[in-house]
Amino acid sequence: MSVAVAEVKVETQVVIKNPVSKSKRWLPLTLVLAVSYGLVLANFPIDVFKDRDNYLNYVLNSDIILSINASAGLLTLFANEPLWLLLNTLMKQVFEPEQAIRFYIFMSATTFSFLFLRKDPGNIVWLVLFLFVPQIVKNYIIHLRQGVAISIFFIGWTLVGGKKRWMVMMLTPFIHASFFFVLILLVLNKFTTRLRLSGVLRISVFFVAGLLFTLSVGYLAAAVGARQANEYAFSAEGISGLGFIFWLTILFVFIFQGASFIKRYSFEVFVLIFYLCAYFFIEVSGRVFESTLFIVLLAGLTMKGWGKLAFLSSILFYSVFSYALRFDQPWLGFGV
């Protein structure tokens, strides 16, 4: 009897002495994949993609833009992504404009993909495929400012806890303005969680919040002097509705997972409802949704059975179909 007890103790000690987590086992592969992703995207030609002239201009003239915004007042300064302008001002001192663009792409794409692949190593094949979903990869090809902000937001979301987590995430609206709304949604979601509202009531609150955003965002942008007030029409003319049907389907799949899933992933459900409420009314809602799409994808991977199968097959079909529609366009629709 004593021998058996001793054997159990020895076995227990061995397990405790040499713990090897799944994430550590996958670390070399995720690092290689992330660096490769960043390197490939950063080494594409600079002048063949949409909006690159705009980003080159930021590197060259952000100090001037920052000065103009500051002279217009603090509200205008902070509403027009001052941290992004400051980053470009610093980049100008270190890099040539094209090198700065490549640096942004490499750092943001590598950081994002590394954190993304580390979240669920057991589904690494699907995570790699998700990196090429059009609304994900475009952040490291054409919407570079948004890609930088997403990578910083993801650092806060993943690596830092408590107040420090919020401090990191609160930097992001000053890089990309969509995160003002992301943070508002986070706070509202946290508030409804503390109130312990029922699932139906929380969904109703989310729906009302989406409608209020739709009605007010244009006025808010104009009131604070945000550049988006002049750059966007705050309408969604010419939208086909296919995206609405697709993401509505994903929302239903999430809801049918039951109350426990909705409670655990309430923010992911919230951003889906928010996006769908504003889909036919304002184009900027898409930018807000794209800033949080990665956490929706991660939530979908946690489902079991038919839900996960429906989710993965839908995302795969959506991505392939999106690329097929743009197959004859330069660089699959990302080019000029």
The answer as to whether 334 is a domain residue is: no
- Of 150, 174, 198, which residue constitutes the final position of a domain? 174
The answer as to whether 277 is a domain residue is: yes
In tens digits, the chain (336 residues) has pLDDT values of 444 444 444 444 444 444 446 667 888 999 999 999 999 999 999 999 999 999 999 999 999 999 999 998 898 899 899 999 999 999 999 999 999 999 999 999 999 999 999 999 889 999 999 999 999 999 999 999 999 999 999 999 987 667 888 999 999 999 999 899 899 889 988 888 888 777 678 778 888 887 887 777 666 666 655 665 555 555 555 566 888 999 999 999 999 998 889 889 999 998 999 899 888 877 778 888 999 999 999 999 999 999 999 999 999 999 999 999 999 999 999 998
pLDDT value at residue 223: 61
Instruction: For residue range 74-96, list pLDDT tens digits in order.
Output: 988 998 999 999 999 999 999 99
The answer as to whether 322 is a domain residue is: no
The answer as to whether 234 is a domain residue is: yes
Rounded-to-integer distance, Cα 298 and Cα 133, Å: 13
Residues 274 and 132 in one domain: no
Rounded-to-integer distance, Cα 313 and Cα 216, Å: 36
Residues 139 and 183 in one domain: no
Q: Cβ distance 148 to 38 under 8 Å?
A: no
Residues 77 and 121 in one domain: yes
Residues 197 and 184 in one domain: yes
pLDDT value at residue 16: 43
Rounded-to-integer distance, Cα 178 and Cα 294, Å: 15
Residues 163 and 256 in one domain: no
User: Residue 29's closest CA among 109, 105, 107, 114?
Assistant: 114
- Of 122, 147, 174, which residue constitutes the final position of a domain? 174
CB atoms within 10 A of CB 84: 22
Residues 117 and 87 in one domain: yes
Residues 144 and 207 in one domain: no
Domain count, the chain: 2
The answer as to whether 333 is a domain residue is: no
Q: Which domain holds residue 103?
A: 21-174
Residues 150 and 26 in one domain: yes
The answer as to whether 89 is a domain residue is: yes
- Of 174, 197, 232, which residue constitutes the final position of a domain? 174
- In angstroms, what CA-CA distances link 288 with 31, 146, 274, 285? 28, 10, 9, 5
Q: Cβ distance 206 to 273 under 8 Å?
A: yes
The answer as to whether 278 is a domain residue is: yes
Residues 116 and 261 in one domain: no
Residues 210 and 166 in one domain: no
Residues 250 and 294 in one domain: yes
Contacts of 147 (CB under 8 A, 6+ apart): 104, 105, 108, 109, 112, 139, 140
Instruction: For residue range 228-275, list pLDDT tens digits in order.
Output: 555 555 555 556 688 899 999 999 999 999 888 988 999 999 899 989
The answer as to whether 319 is a domain residue is: no
Residues 163 and 204 in one domain: no
Rounded-to-integer distance, Cα 244 and Cα 17, Å: 52
